[in-house]
Amino acid sequence: MHPMITIASRAARAAGNIQRRYLEHLDSLTISSKGDNDFVSEVDKASEQVIIDTLRKAYPDHAILAEESGVSAGNEFQWIIDPLDGTTNYLHGIPQFAVSIALRRKGVLEHGVVFDPVRDEMFSASRGSGAMLNDRRLRVTNRKTLKGAIIGTGIPFRDRRHLDTYLAMLRDMITADTAGIRRPGSAALDFAWVAAGRFDGFWELGLKPWDFAAGALLVKEAGGVVSDLAGGDDYFNTGNTVAGNIRLHTLMLQTLKPHLNEQLKA
Ligand code: IPD
Ligand code: CA
Ligand code: CA
């Protein structure tokens, strides 16, 4: 295991411990609003702090991009952190949330971990070395048709600009005879579950880099493909993502294509 994965896993576990502990006391949490349907709790903040402290101790010169505290400058290594992905679930006591930590070097994803503290599942990947769930190697599914596929997604709930387009996409995914669409509520875990072969594919519009940086590497290292809506590489800029095994990814792009307007071309 790469030393950076060891450190990132340590940081993710420390944050996960905080999340499990506070889960028993949700009623007394201090919560503030960042915008429409966008909440941040003391758990998000405490989780981010322990992650940053752990990473900084090992790598004082690295740069950081973290959801709650923003950007801090450093050398060519940059940690991308979502301390608690699935805050809405968390605040409602729904046990589907995760910690996501990725490392990018000169813009290339090198390492990533997504930790599910409820199931004690540590998903990890290093570029060129494959993806793991705890000690087990991961592989995307080899399903070749949308018929029978389980597809994860995220339903827009903050930014509703593309809601009608999204609903048309959803309709086409459903009528492609998929076995079902799932909206669990943590994009980081959705990607990890594609890597683990639990989902055949996943798509969501308007994500942020910290939602998918680690997850995208997991999917690729598990043999899958991640792209923007047009099949290109621009998802770090647009936040529009499609992931799946190679065949399913192609079929999903074909299904989404008729709905791409000027703003959603990537
Ligand atoms: C959210 C989750 C959710 C996705 C949202 C994200 P947060 O992250 O990943 O599944 O649909 O777009 O913002 O706010 O809970 O860290
Ligand atoms: Ca998130
Ligand atoms: Ca978050």
Task: Give, for ligand 1, the residue of 69, 85, 158, 212 to mutate: max count of ligand atoms closer than 8 Å to Cβ.
Answer: 85
The pLDDT of residue 38: 78
Of the chain, the percentage scoring pLDDT greater than 70 comes to 100
Angle at CA of residue 216, ends 214 and 220, nearest 5°: 120
* Cα-to-centroid distance, 211 and ligand 2 (Å): 4
Residue 148 is given by DSSP the state T
Residue nearest to atom 1 of ligand 1 (CA): 86
CB 51 within 8 A of CB 68: no
The pLDDT of residue 75: 95
The residue among 156, 252, 165 whose CA lies nearest residue 206 is 156
Examine the pLDDT at 113 and tell me if it is beyond 80: yes
**pTM flag (> 0.95):** yes
Confidence category of residue 39, pLDDT binned at 50, 70, 90? confident
167 vs 111: CA distance, rounded Å: 34
Ligand 1 first shell, C-beta below 6 A: 82, 85-88, 154, 185-187, 204, 207, 211
Q: Which ligand 1 atom lies nearest to the CA of residue 185?
A: 10
The residue among 7, 249, 241 whose CA lies nearest residue 149 is 249
Residue nearest to atom 16 of ligand 1 (CA): 85
Examine the pLDDT at 27 and tell me if it is beyond 90: no
Residue nearest to atom 12 of ligand 1 (CA): 207
Confidence category of residue 147, pLDDT binned at 50, 70, 90? very high
Confidence category of residue 34, pLDDT binned at 50, 70, 90? confident
Collapse the DSSP code of 150 into the 3-class scheme (helix H, G, I; strand E, B; otherwise coil) and give the result.
Answer: strand
The pLDDT of residue 127: 98
158 vs 237: which has the higher pLDDT: 237
Examine the pLDDT at 231 and tell me if it is beyond 80: yes
Q: Which two tokens stand for residue 44?
A: 């998000």
* Cα-to-centroid distance, 12 and ligand 3 (Å): 13
**Rg, the chain, Cα only:** 17
At 84-109, the pLDDT tens digits run 999 999 999 999 999 999 999 999 99
47 vs 64: CA distance, rounded Å: 15
Place of tokens 């939602």: 211
CB 109 within 8 A of CB 213: yes
123 vs 134: CA distance, rounded Å: 6
The ligand with the least distance to the CA atom of 89 is 1
CB 214 within 8 A of CB 114: yes
